[in-house]
Amino acid sequence: MADGLVIRGVILDLDGTLIDSMGVWYRLDREFLRENGIADPPADISERMKKMSIDESADYFVSHFGLSLTPLQVSERIREMVRYEYEKRICLKPYAKELLDRLDSLGIRYGVATATYSSLAEAVLKRCGVLDRMSFLLTDEQYPCGKNRPDIFEGAAILMGNVPCETLVVEDSLHCIQTASGAGFPVAAVYDEAAAAEREKIEAAADWYCASLREVADIIDEYGRY
């Protein structure tokens, strides 16, 4: 990373970055399809889904698999299937609170940009005691293109009064990292088992590759400024 970098804001991904939830989504895709008569879902279905917004995923399920449901019905059913996990079980990833403490100590604003339903994101963040610490929570409901376009990252930066080059994006998924980096944001990639197969590409696309959020905190120590 070039000398002179100053980080004045941070955009945190939720699933696989701030919370340990990707296993839930990988299981859910298959459970939903089997529930609707698709006995042998494609092996890569979760890889396809993670690159889509909520609306795109619902449309894909209906059109590709010929389901007798509307996209809205698909979206609502999936929300119900994962609600318990977010409200009762999913936890923060290791060192998440330590990272937030580090940001707070430096007066650096931060928040979440996620493809997850806002009601579920709010539920898990509130239960884990960090919702009130976020300056914003942006989802596909405000940005229907999700993270296939940089709009959600740019919107978050604007909310913090920052420009992209001074706003760190913390992500685990390759396509999100590529989108943010292509829009001029410095990116710290965080390891998650669900994205392990793409590690080489992720390392090439990101400015830093971190084994955990503790290493992201180290980046903040070096480059973070109020």
pLDDT digits (tens, 9 = 90+) for 2-52: 578 999 999 999 999 999 998 888 888 888 999 999 988 888 888 888 788
Name the residue among 144, 136, 139, 196 with its Cα closest to residue 167. 136
* Predicted confidence (pLDDT) per residue in 70-123, tens digit: 999 999 998 898 999 999 999 999 999 999 999 999 999 999 999 999 999 999
Q: What is the pLDDT of residue 192?
A: 93
**Bridge partners of 210?**
190
**Strand intervals (E) in 136-211:** 137-138, 167-171, 187-190, 208-210
4 φ/ψ angles, rounded to the nearest 5 degrees:
95, -5
Cα–Cα distance, 49 to 26 (Å, whole number):
9
207 vs 21, 36, 95, 109, 204, CA distance in Å?
A: 24, 42, 20, 20, 8
pLDDT attached to residue 164: 98
Q: Which of 190, 196, 151, 150 is nearest to 171 (CA)?
A: 190
The answer to whether residues 109 and 220 touch, using CB atoms and an 8 Å cutoff, is no
Q: Comparing 131 with 79, which gets the higher pLDDT?
A: 131
Give the model's confidence band at 145: pLDDT under 50 very low, under 70 low, under 90 confident, else very high: confident
Q: What's the confidence (pLDDT) of residue 1?
A: 57
Q: Look at residue 200 in the predicted model and tell me its pLDDT.
A: 97
Query: Are 150 and 169 within 8 A, CB to CB?
Result: no
Output the six-digit token pair for 191. 């390891």
- Phi-psi category of 184—alpha, beta or left, where left has phi over 0 and alpha has psi -120 to 50? left
pTM, rounded to two decimals: 0.90
pLDDT tens per residue, range 205-224: 999 999 999 999 999 999 99
Residue appearing with tokens 């917004």: 53
pLDDT at 65 over 60: yes
